[in-house]
Chain A
Amino acid sequence: MSQQPALEVRDLHTHFFLRRGVVKAVDGVSFTLEQGEVLGIVGESGCGKSLTALSILRLIPEASARTVKGEILLNGEDLLQKDPAAMREVRGRQVAMILQDPQTSLNPVFTIGNQLHEAIARQGESSAKTVKERAIEVLRRVKLAAPEERTIQYPHQLSGGMKQRVVGAISISCAPDVLIADEPTTALDVTIQLQYLKLLKELQESSGMAMLFITHDFGVVAKICDRVAVMYAGRIVEMGPVREIFDNPAHPYTQALIGSVPKMVSTSERLSTIEGQPPSLSDLPNGCRFAERCALADDRCRSEYPKVYDISASHTASCWKATPG
């Protein structure tokens, strides 16, 4: 373990402070993202996966939410200690992000070229000619047809898949060390989704950047992730290499989540379901947060938060019932 991880998040807590109480949306999340790997964060809506990503870039809505505790180490430096000006240097250059909806992440009144030039010029490139050439070059890297024409078009003239490629081009234009992708394919059609996932994987492999991939879809995880972290009610409940999580999920929530996805080839007529709802994030139980919906739960599960068990060298699960295999 000589290599420094690309990104390390330690005990991150991001809470919303509302009049009706404190909503602990991210409540003690820790993970490391190694150089050149793709780590998936999976979970259902409201589990805190997107807020984790926004906390890393310190883009959370400050009026109501704050990161109250934790460390986010990028190249050994804690992002939470940086002032706003230093943070602006980090965003885009060291850590870039692709959001879910390409419709809202591009500015409708500027051309594609304008928006790319802005990102490239921010790196200190001053010659207009080089900026233009670099813009066309990154559009070519994301395999957008006719890049010269695209630079003078506006976002509304492109389809959803093309817009998401432009967003991808902007985010890789500064050659970041870490790319955070927050459900980048959810708004795309299935055949376009496959194209885009393959493109991201190619870009990641050719540049060697590390990628944090946030999704609710285990299919996406199976397609492109090396490791996966499963989140539930603000915490990571299980983490490990993709194959181990699929073959040998240790946490009952992971098991249920994988079991509830309809399969393309299967014989069972009924899907297994998870009854009930996740707990309210403003009134969390002391014990395991999944206990209410878990068939295996006993008194200890309900009263004491489970410790993190090592299932194997690189596979951990927070569950009293998890047995090292």
Chain B
Amino acid sequence: MSTPLLEANDLTKHFTVSKGLLFSKEIGRVRAVDAVNFTLEAGQTLGLVGESGCGKTTTSRLVLGLESPTSGEVRLNGNPIHGLTGANERSYRANVQAVFQDPWASLNPRMLVKDIVAESLRVTNWGTKSEISDRVQELMLQVGLTGEQALQYPHEFSGGQRQRVALASALALQPKLIVLDEPVSALDVSIRAQMMNLLKDIQVQENVAYLLVAHDLATVRHMADWTAVMYLGQIVEYAPTVKLFENVRHPYTKALFSAVLPDHPDHQQDEIVLVGEVPSPLNPPSGCRFHTRCPFVMEQCARIEPPIRTDDAGHRVACHLEA
């Protein structure tokens, strides 16, 4: 088997909570990401879904190298990414780019769009001034903006256009992987569709892989080849998107699916309304972390962490019901 583009092996990130300034002592650990495993092939999309606090953003920050893991590792093309230095680190950073949720916060308001897009080209000595300026023009057209718009400031753009600028600057160095952290959730409905179509077109043109962090299942269904559902720092279900949408197996995923609002008033579905809210990751429940809210809870769920079972299609579920 060939090496996948991106691998996470038992990836874990705990944040320590401490008390006191001088003689601070650890009073707890937020288990933001706990032994997460996934792979992503070149040119494909992996969707990470879950509610706030489930660890999906921390996972994406680990992949971007913005956090270092407590244990476990992330590999790009088979090489661990944490602890890189010098040229290796620079090449990693060129290969992995990001587009964040809020296009109002991610673009420097004092820079012209052409400078924002060209920044990564300049710092990597990608080419001469005129080569860089040609590349910027090319990128602007690729994301559906005009060349003249490169001479404007971010505030002159609407939300959807800013997100296009962010994408253009992420694409500049022809990365292998782009981390998309809720790339469309800040946009209006009609603009969202434009952006999602654009992301898919670009994926085909550039053969770039996406790690898509989203809370909206319909977005993930539309964009992702594989989907991982996270709950309290763990992946509870992981499967090819088509398989997952045909056959949802984990009770949490079922609840998540049933909470999706209908696309027609006559399509009201059976609802699994979960009781209460997501417990604190500071002291996650014992056994299966979902047992406090699970409608199908059994006696062993509180005691034993459920084993992970994988079927032939690669559909992975962590639940005692699967036994």
Docked pose: A33 CA to B131 CA in angstroms: 61
Contact: A190 with B259, CB < 8 Å? Answer: yes
Q: Report B-chain residues with C-beta under 8 Å of the C-beta of A192.
A: 51, 277
Contact: A223 with B188, CB < 8 Å? Answer: no
Asked whether any CB of chain A lies closer than 8 Å to the CB of B86, the reply is no
Contact: A219 with B190, CB < 8 Å? Answer: no
Asked whether any CB of chain B lies closer than 8 Å to the CB of A261, the reply is yes
Contact: A270 with B189, CB < 8 Å? Answer: no
Q: Contacts A260-B189, A264-B245 given: A243-B263 contact, CB under 8 Å?
A: no
Q: Report B-chain residues with C-beta under 8 Å of the C-beta of A159.
A: 277
Q: Report A-chain residues with C-beta under 8 Å of the C-beta of B255.
A: 191
- Name the one of A195, A223, A243, A263 contacting B218, with C-beta atoms under 8 angstroms: A263
Contact: A222 with B263, CB < 8 Å? Answer: yes
Interface digits, B103-134 against A, CB 8 Å rule (1 contact, 0 not)?
00000000000000000000000000000000
Q: Which of B188, B222, B278: most chain A Cβ within 10 A?
A: B188
Contact: B274 with A217, CB < 8 Å? Answer: no
Interface digits, A243-283 against B, CB 8 Å rule (1 contact, 0 not)?
10011000000001100111111000111111101000000
Q: Report A-chain residues with C-beta under 8 Å of the C-beta of B194.
A: 273-275
Asked whether any CB of chain A lies closer than 8 Å to the CB of B298, the reply is no
Q: Report B-chain residues with C-beta under 8 Å of the C-beta of A162.
A: 277
A218 to chain B, nearest CB (A): 7
- Name the one of A145, A257, A264, A265 contacting B189, with C-beta atoms under 8 angstroms: A257
Asked whether any CB of chain B lies closer than 8 Å to the CB of A78, the reply is no
Asked whether any CB of chain B lies closer than 8 Å to the CB of A77, the reply is no
Q: Report B-chain residues with C-beta under 8 Å of the C-beta of A260.
A: 189-190, 192-193
- Name the one of B197, B256, B262, B264 contacting A191, with C-beta atoms under 8 angstroms: B256
Interface residues of A in 289-317 (CB under 8 A from B): none
Asked whether any CB of chain B lies closer than 8 Å to the CB of A216, the reply is yes
Q: Report A-chain residues with C-beta under 8 Å of the C-beta of B271.
A: 194, 198
Q: Report B-chain residues with C-beta under 8 Å of the C-beta of A44.
A: 188-190
Asked whether any CB of chain A lies closer than 8 Å to the CB of B215, the reply is yes
Contact: A223 with B262, CB < 8 Å? Answer: yes
Asked whether any CB of chain B lies closer than 8 Å to the CB of A133, the reply is no
Closest residue on chain A to residue B264 by CB atoms: A246
Asked whether any CB of chain B lies closer than 8 Å to the CB of A80, the reply is no
Docked pose: A192 CA to B275 CA in angstroms: 9
Q: Report B-chain residues with C-beta under 8 Å of the C-beta of A261.
A: 189, 193, 218, 263
- Name the one of A191, A243, A257, A277 contacting B158, with C-beta atoms under 8 angstroms: A277
Docked pose: A67 CA to B262 CA in angstroms: 36
Contact: A264 with B193, CB < 8 Å? Answer: no
Asked whether any CB of chain A lies closer than 8 Å to the CB of B320, the reply is no
Asked whether any CB of chain A lies closer than 8 Å to the CB of B217, the reply is yes
A223 to chain B, nearest CB (A): 5
Contact: A198 with B261, CB < 8 Å? Answer: no
Contact: B196 with A191, CB < 8 Å? Answer: no
By DSSP majority rule, is chain B's interface helix, strand, loop, or mixed?
loop
Docked pose: A192 CA to B278 CA in angstroms: 10
Asked whether any CB of chain B lies closer than 8 Å to the CB of A161, the reply is yes
Asked whether any CB of chain B lies closer than 8 Å to the CB of A189, the reply is yes
Asked whether any CB of chain B lies closer than 8 Å to the CB of A23, the reply is no
Contact: B219 with A219, CB < 8 Å? Answer: no
Docked pose: A162 CA to B200 CA in angstroms: 38
Q: Report A-chain residues with C-beta under 8 Å of the C-beta of B278.
A: 189
Docked pose: A128 CA to B35 CA in angstroms: 53
Total count of chain A residues near the partner, CB < 8 A: 42
Interface residues of B in 248-265 (CB under 8 A from A): 255-265
Docked pose: A209 CA to B219 CA in angstroms: 35
- Name the one of B192, B221, B222, B260 contacting A190, with C-beta atoms under 8 angstroms: B260
Contact: B197 with A271, CB < 8 Å? Answer: yes
Contact: B52 with A189, CB < 8 Å? Answer: yes
Closest residue on chain A to residue B222 by CB atoms: A262
Docked pose: A170 CA to B229 CA in angstroms: 36
Q: Report B-chain residues with C-beta under 8 Å of the C-beta of A223.
A: 261-262, 265, 268
B204 to chain A, nearest CB (A): 11
Asked whether any CB of chain B lies closer than 8 Å to the CB of A220, the reply is yes
Asked whether any CB of chain A lies closer than 8 Å to the CB of B17, the reply is no
Docked pose: A288 CA to B193 CA in angstroms: 23
Docked pose: A44 CA to B188 CA in angstroms: 6
Q: Report B-chain residues with C-beta under 8 Å of the C-beta of A264.
A: 217-218, 221, 245, 257, 260, 263
Interface residues of A in 64-116 (CB under 8 A from B): none
Interface residues of A in 210-258 (CB under 8 A from B): 216-220, 222-223, 242-243, 246-247, 256-257
Asked whether any CB of chain B lies closer than 8 Å to the CB of A130, the reply is no
Asked whether any CB of chain A lies closer than 8 Å to the CB of B141, the reply is no
Q: Contacts A44-B188, A262-B218 given: A220-B193 contact, CB under 8 Å?
A: no
Asked whether any CB of chain A lies closer than 8 Å to the CB of B266, the reply is yes
Q: Report B-chain residues with C-beta under 8 Å of the C-beta of A216.
A: 188-189
Q: Report A-chain residues with C-beta under 8 Å of the C-beta of B188.
A: 44-45, 216
Interface digits, B123-155 against A, CB 8 Å rule (1 contact, 0 not)?
000000000000000000000000000000000
Docked pose: A195 CA to B277 CA in angstroms: 10
Query: Can you give 28 A-B contacts (C-beta < 8 A)?
Result: A44-B189, A189-B215, A190-B217, A190-B256, A190-B260, A191-B255, A194-B258, A194-B261, A217-B189, A217-B261, A220-B261, A222-B263, A222-B264, A223-B262, A223-B265, A260-B189, A261-B189, A262-B196, A262-B219, A264-B218, A264-B221, A264-B245, A264-B257, A270-B200, A271-B222, A272-B193, A273-B197, A274-B194
Interface of A with B (CB < 8 Å)? 44-45, 145, 159, 161-162, 189-195, 197-198, 216-220, 222-223, 242-243, 246-247, 256-257, 260-265, 269-275, 277
7 extra interface residue pairs, beta carbon distance < 8 Å, beyond A189-B52, A198-B273, A218-B189: A192-B277, A217-B189, A260-B192, A261-B218, A263-B218, A264-B221, A264-B245
What 9 A-B pairs come out closest when comparing CB atoms?
A219-B261, A260-B193, A271-B193, A274-B190, A262-B218, A189-B51, A194-B259, A44-B188, A262-B222
